[in-house]
Structure 1
Amino acid sequence: MSATHSAEQSERPGRIMSGEMAEQPAVLRRILERGAPLIHETARRIAARAPRFVLLTARGSSDNAALYAKYLLEIQLGLPCGLTSMSTTTAYGARPDLRDVLVITVSQSGGSPDLVASTRAAREAGAITLAVTNNPDSPLAAVSEFHVDVLAGPEKALPATKTYTASLLALYLFVAGLRGEDGAAARALPDPAEQVLARQDEIRRLASRYRFAERMVITSRGYGYPTAKEAALKLMETSYIPALSYSGADLLHGPLAMVDNISPVIAVVPDGKGGEALQPVLDRLRGRGADLVVVGPAAQVEAASGGFVLPTEGVPEELQPILEILPLQLLAYEVTIARGQDPDAPRALAKVTETH
């Protein structure tokens, strides 16, 4: 490679985000090979404490990963879960009784002061505290009783990609461990993840329809809903397109009125019960003449204006979010490039958000 070509590559817009997206299959394999035994041991020790319910704490992409964990815990274990409002403790000084409560804090950096303060307060209130981070030496890991390292390696791009999918897999393995299982179904993920990422040309063609979009709507149900929220976040923080995410059920209760034949809609359709629950929403969207793009099974893509067929054969619905988000990460990247912007340099964003 010539020095000139090397310099061009180093200056290419989005090269950091692109490189980190490409690392995801290797990160998944690393977690499965190196991280899984430690995650299962942590889960075993927490299960022995028999938590009565779970609170999940996070911000940004990690908040969407925490929502995924909420679905897992409620569906797989029947444990009631809630997403915490950190200001109740950090701003208002509330001190709830958290004895026998499992508080899981998800944070890529583990350095956000409000997450650290909230977790410390939870532990002082009697909670079992677990930090899920990409940094075992972080302040959050230090104040938590237990820690899970998602092993994603350094992430330099401002839009989180590999840490998001790594967090999903780590949380899946943790919940499997709480059930006394090894999460063996996840071992099938790295290969289809590679297949999805290799289809970037398809995504580039799909992105052309959104180059001049003024707003977008992204919807799903069930396990796919966290994916819809994360996809909207990625589009907003890279391309600045106002992207609104809705549960399909919520979309039918008012926001559907803003959808017409020029309003782009992306539907994340799980291959399973979530997709079945979303079907009435898809029917209504098609009836309104919406520009509907589907990420999901082939039959659903064929019935839409366009889409991306996911290789979900043999992948349980609860693991599909790890594949679903990959083409949507690529879409955010390609839309941003098509609009003449740099995904590596979103305006007014910081890797660690400091709120109090």
Structure 2
Amino acid sequence: MSGQHMSAEIAEQPAVFASIVDRQAQIAEVAAKLAERRPRFALLAARGSSDHAALYAKYLVEVLLELPAGLASASTTTLYGAKPDLSDVLFLTVSQSGGSPDLIETTEAARARGALTVAVTNNPSSGLNSVAELSIDIGAGVENAVAATKTYTATLLSLYLLIDSVRGGQGQAAAPLAALAAEALSTTESAVDDAVARYRYVERMVTTGRGYSSASAAEGALKLAETSYLAARAYSGADLLHGPVAAIDADTGVVAVTSAGKGGEAMRDVVNTVRQRGADVLAVGSAAADMPASSRIVLPPCAEEVAPILEILPLQRLALGLSLARGGDPDNPRGLSKVTRTR
């Protein structure tokens, strides 16, 4: 049956979260080594869904650790042969498979240039783990669907626990996530079905969020594009108002990720402006009930820095539902494979 793997793997996420939280002490051991080295800034390398996890980690590093952070461009090493001095730099590589040649080569090169390299993967025997100095196994289990669901959220949670531990935290904000995820999946099913019916025939969608939720907007757009073949674009709420909003009209479906906190509050004017353009706006998140949207998927409240771990759940289900409604097979999107090898 089409979509059975993706559906099952979405449903597994509360149990995956509980397992990761139980392994917080193991992640804290890696974090202690990072804290000892006192990096002066962080670089994050990733592709695909993992790139969105890296974007989330960038916010965590900048806000929770107050260190500058940036997203590394693998091609500067693999194609152009650049050799920057990376002494005292944390180089964090995020890859579900740990098998992409460009990420392996970039991580190996970063270590040779003085960086403290850390691999975050779902494959502890991967080539990436073999070249990184330290590694974290996200422990999501085998993922059969091509579209990443449980591996994505497991990566987010592992990154949160790592970075929180570096600052001396105990992962308190993560403790309730398994229960909150189960609640989110059980209470939003009807709202997701309604959203599938609203957007079944739309061809153009925009996803948007601010702060931590920028990662959710990016991952939501990718899920819609790769499973339903929609022309889906993600923008920061701020960037959306700086130009792309001009392309939004009544034929555009807009998903606004709006969880309680500074990022969600900054989205209020964005949602208002987009609604005035005539777009159908779906607000998703713990602050969705208070947004001037066309429809809403309301999630249980949690600490803002872990909200992306919950926000993506209904967006995964929306992508699944739209793919099936449009006659697709979200387990096997056309032209895609589980491991993409780039250089």
**TM-score (norm. length: structure 1):** 0.94
Q: Verify the 8 A CA contact 1:62 1:106 in the aligned structure 2.
A: yes
3-state secondary structure, aligned to 2:195: helix
Q: Deviations over 1:241-263 (max 9, x none)?
A: 01010001111111101111221
What is the alpha-carbon distance in structure 2 between the residues aligned to residue 249 and residue 286 of structure 1?
Answer: 15
3-state secondary structure, aligned to 1:46: helix
Query: Which of the numbers 219, 226, 235 marks the counterpart of 1:237?
Result: 226
Q: Verify the 8 A CA contact 1:301 1:307 in the aligned structure 2.
A: no
3-state secondary structure, aligned to 2:284: strand
Q: What does residue 41 of structure 1 align with?
A: 29
Q: What does residue 74 of structure 1 align with?
A: 62
Q: Verify the 8 A CA contact 1:301 1:309 in the aligned structure 2.
A: no
What is the alpha-carbon distance in structure 2 between the residues aligned to residue 38 and residue 47 of structure 1?
Answer: 15
Q: Offset at 1:301?
A: 5.5
What is the alpha-carbon distance in structure 1 between the residues aligned to residue 157 and residue 272 of structure 2?
Answer: 32
Q: Verify the 8 A CA contact 2:282 2:295 in the aligned structure 1.
A: yes
Q: Verify the 8 A CA contact 1:223 1:270 in the aligned structure 2.
A: no
Q: Deviations over 1:16-50 (max 9, x none)?
A: 111111110000000011x2111001000111011
Larger Rg: 1
Q: Deviations over 1:227-248 (max 9, x none)?
A: 0000000000100001010001
C-alpha distance 298-185 of structure 1, shift in aligned 2 (>3 A): closer
Count of residue pairs brought into register by the alignment:
342
**Runs of 5+ in structure 2 lacking a partner?**
none
C-alpha distance 298-175 of structure 1, shift in aligned 2 (>3 A): closer
Q: What does residue 339 of structure 2 align with?
A: 352
After TM superposition, the runs of 4+ consecutive aligned structure 1 residues lying more than 3 A away are 297-302
Q: Offset at 1:299?
A: 5.7
Q: What does residue 180 of structure 1 align with?
A: 168
Alignment of 1:105-254 (within 5 A): 105-198=93-186, 199-254=188-243
Q: Verify the 8 A CA contact 1:100 1:126 in the aligned structure 2.
A: yes
Query: Which of the numbers 222, 247, 256 marks the counterpart of 1:258?
Result: 247
3-state secondary structure, aligned to 2:338: coil
Query: Which of the numbers 259, 267, 270 marks the counterpart of 2:256?
Result: 267
Q: Which moved more, 1:346-355 or 1:284-293?
A: 284-293
What is the alpha-carbon distance in structure 1 between the residues aligned to residue 287 and residue 18 of structure 2?
Answer: 27
Q: What does residue 317 of structure 1 align with?
A: 304
What is the alpha-carbon distance in structure 2 between the residues aligned to residue 217 and residue 323 of structure 1?
Answer: 20
Q: Offset at 1:195?
A: 1.4
Q: What does residue 329 of structure 2 align with?
A: 342
Q: Deviations over 1:281-335 (max 9, x none)?
A: 11211222221110023664663110201111xx110011000000000000000
**Please, what is the CA RMSD of the aligned residues?**
1.1
Q: Offset at 1:134?
A: 0.4
Q: Verify the 8 A CA contact 2:202 2:251 in the aligned structure 1.
A: no
3-state secondary structure, aligned to 1:283: helix
Q: Deviations over 1:31-72 (max 9, x none)?
A: 011x21110010001110110000000000000000000000
Q: Which moved more, 1:279-288 or 1:187-196?
A: 279-288
What is the alpha-carbon distance in structure 2 between the residues aligned to residue 176 and residue 345 of structure 1?
Answer: 36
C-alpha distance 208-84 of structure 1, shift in aligned 2 (>3 A): same
Q: Deviations over 1:122-173 (max 9, x none)?
A: 0011100000000111010010000001010011110000000000000000
Q: Deviations over 1:57-102 (max 9, x none)?
A: 0000000000000000001111000101101111111111001000
Q: Offset at 1:192?
A: 1.4
Q: Offset at 1:278?
A: 1.5
C-alpha distance 292-96 of structure 1, shift in aligned 2 (>3 A): same
Given residue 69 of structure 1, which amino acid in structure 2 is its aligned partner? Answer: A
What is the alpha-carbon distance in structure 2 between the residues aligned to residue 288 and residue 113 of structure 1?
Answer: 44
Q: What does residue 23 of structure 1 align with?
A: 12
Q: Deviations over 1:186-242 (max 9, x none)?
A: 111111101122232331221111111111011111111000000000000100001
Q: Offset at 1:342?
A: 0.7
Given residue 191 of structure 1, which amino acid in structure 2 is its aligned partner? Answer: A
Q: What does residue 7 of structure 1 align with?
A: none
Given residue 40 of structure 1, which amino acid in structure 2 is its aligned partner? Answer: A
